[in-house]
A and B are shown apart, each in its own frame.
Chain A
Amino acid sequence: MNKMEKALHELSEMDDLAALSSPIHRLHPAAKLITTILYIVVTVSFDKYDLGGLFPMLLWPVLLFQLSGIPVRTCFYKLRIVLPLVMAVGLFNPFFDRAAMLTLGGVAVSGGVVSMLTLMLKGVFCLMASFLLMATTPIDSLCAALRRLHVPGTLVTLLLLTYRYVGVMTEELAVMTDAYHLRAPGQKGIHVSAWGSFLGQLLLRSMDRAQELYGSMLLRGYHDHFHYAPIRAFAARDGIFTIACALCFALLRFVNVGQLLGGLVMR
């Protein structure tokens, strides 16, 4: 199995995760979608120096991982490519913001370091929440929920087809890399000189396949409107989950829970 086939396999594993059964999986997709968006908005809204306030936001994904039965390590393994990029976001902050902000054990910590850590955590938390949404909700249900929330059909179809075409492109890439390596033994990766033609061919082949797929859809009556798998009605428990999560997020955002608990312990 080459790297691309592994990637394809991992993509299909997301569908398997989404097909599991747990209290979180059984929630209405709209409830999960709304709470995930809320979580991301609240997480991002923390001040760049509010590391202490941000940290308790970790509780929500951790709790959901526990309830859904999805191991946290699966999340970090699947996000291993994206995580370093997210972590790199605030990497230069310590060089620009050198003013000491706090001292830890006699060591002065600059505002740049704090803001870097805050940015990193924000990124990691948001990725964890997004992963949870995808790992507990099949893409079709998610799209059906988006339509129920009146997101334009074109955008939703675009999302669904992009998700499907990622697999198609990866398959093409797998075949091409295999063909390349069979004629370039001992070579690691694709040589720079072949990048141009390789990408060009990939694009053409993917377009051909996408064209054929789209043709196949048209021949079976598709006319800009997808019939998503039916999703059940939004029940009271979905509402309770959404409201409870929103209240918790508000609490975590406006009350410094870490400080509060610390104060109680000190008393």
Chain B
Amino acid sequence: MTVGGWQPIAALDDLAPRHVFQASLDGQELAVWRADSGELNAWENRCLHRGVRLSIGFNNGAELLCRYHGWRYATGTAGCTYIPAHPADAPARTITNRTYPIVERYGLVWSGREVDGRPEEVAELGAHTLVLRALPVWAPRSFVLDALVDHRFAPNEGLDVDPAEVEMTCDRRQGSIVLTAAHGGSSSTVVYWVQSLDAHTSVIRPVLAETPDDVIAVLRHHARALRELVDRVERTVPSRSVEPQGPLETPVVVERSAGSGPHIEVRVRRKWWTAPDVAAFELTPLAGVLPTPQPGSHIDLRLPNGLVRQYSLTNGPGESDHYRIGVKLEVDGGGGSTLLHDVVTEGDVLTISGPRNGFPLRRDTEHTVLIAGGIGLTPLLAMAQAIRLDRRGFELHVFVRGEDALAFPDVVESFGADATVHVALSPAQTAGRIADVLVAARASHPGALVYACGPAPMLDVVRATAAAAGWADPAVHFEYFSNHHEIDDSTPFEVALARSGTTLEVPAGTSLLEVLRGAGVALPSSCEKGACGTCAVPVIDGTPDHHDVYLRDAERAANTTMLSCVSRARSDRLVLDL
């Protein structure tokens, strides 16, 4: 049994829109599907959660949903984007299904183990070909290849010629058999590949080296001729001749991730001004595939001058070959946006982190209210596209300073009546409009959720107004750009790590995060300003002094979690579950 090399696993026509094709290659079952964008996917046919076949799942055009508990995996990366049983949490980035190489050539879809490049070049197959009917045969691949050498058919120009009178020539190649039938001056050539479903079942996949006039007649002729061959093979294959197929350990995983650590190198594929003071960037990896974006996630962008800035991904579902961000020019912002606007150009290489999601979207509500202020639109764009794909209701409200200040207007326009742009309102008018929106949505959709992102004063208004209008605290989600609170770090405190049995001193002027890291605790962090939630730690005892803008009021009051980058202690001592 030769394992390795490209084999056809389907005809391109087999991958109907929104269909999930069940395939098999050398005994390994695959779920093969095409996204609406045309992207092809070949994955292990098994949900990471409970092992159910993904081929009975649901292809929504950009994600594959497992039939059993609805886990979603993104096209391209196979990364998990949503777990319905944990609707408020972002799935860990490491939850990624096994992917296999997949390419299209000659109208067939190919995969294989330990392959690179493309399937073999076949000189006979030019611009005009016809994929003939493939037939399964209950015989091992090598047996079928041997039998194909004696296969006979008639040329297209003489389909009713007695096959015995046709002159056949055969060219046996590395992985294919090329047969030419000639009679009375006309000839036709067919290339046959044989796919090994498993040790004792194969599929013969022929491609005709021309496009005939009467396609159906030619298809029928070849299907009939091949059926006779299949019958003959199945009559003659010795029933116990099955080639022993060694256990195929774990399937070969193609390492496609561009990295999960803090450093991924990306190139600026495209830069454009989506509004006069907003530059948009499309970033593609230098190698491999980017980790799967989720609605609401952000990346750290490391700038050439050493600054690190956070930007939300605007990617909709299915957009997995690049990250797209919008950068608003902040003249007084410390230089990050100036650099991105004025210096960074297409073709430049930047370093980013993998995406983190402190602002995850629940995808189980009938209606979602999205409220954006200015560049706060970016994470909500990703959310709106995900909700639209799910065919659930949403209303997007974007507050902008002027007509032309709207970023990504093409995407906003694509939402039609679901999006409303509120232009040039005063703070008081904005507050009034937000109140109208929240009161109306609360009345029409009592189970709705609110997601808001924008400047701090606006988010404060959203939260206060929502509470006054009867929205429950857990229904209102928000993401601040940055922390506008004054952080008083003048008081030292003691922190006990319950699991490690260590006690540490946090001196004045030093953050808890710094002290923990100094003691060897590996904690992820991103903005380090109390806005993104990446460095949250669980609190067992003591009263934190919260300085962040990430936690909701109820979470803050519960005192069971705190952001280690900015928050400190009201009590002399905190006990952390670390």
Q: Do they bind each other?
A: no
Interface residues of B (CB under 8 A from A): none
Interface residues of A (CB under 8 A from B): none
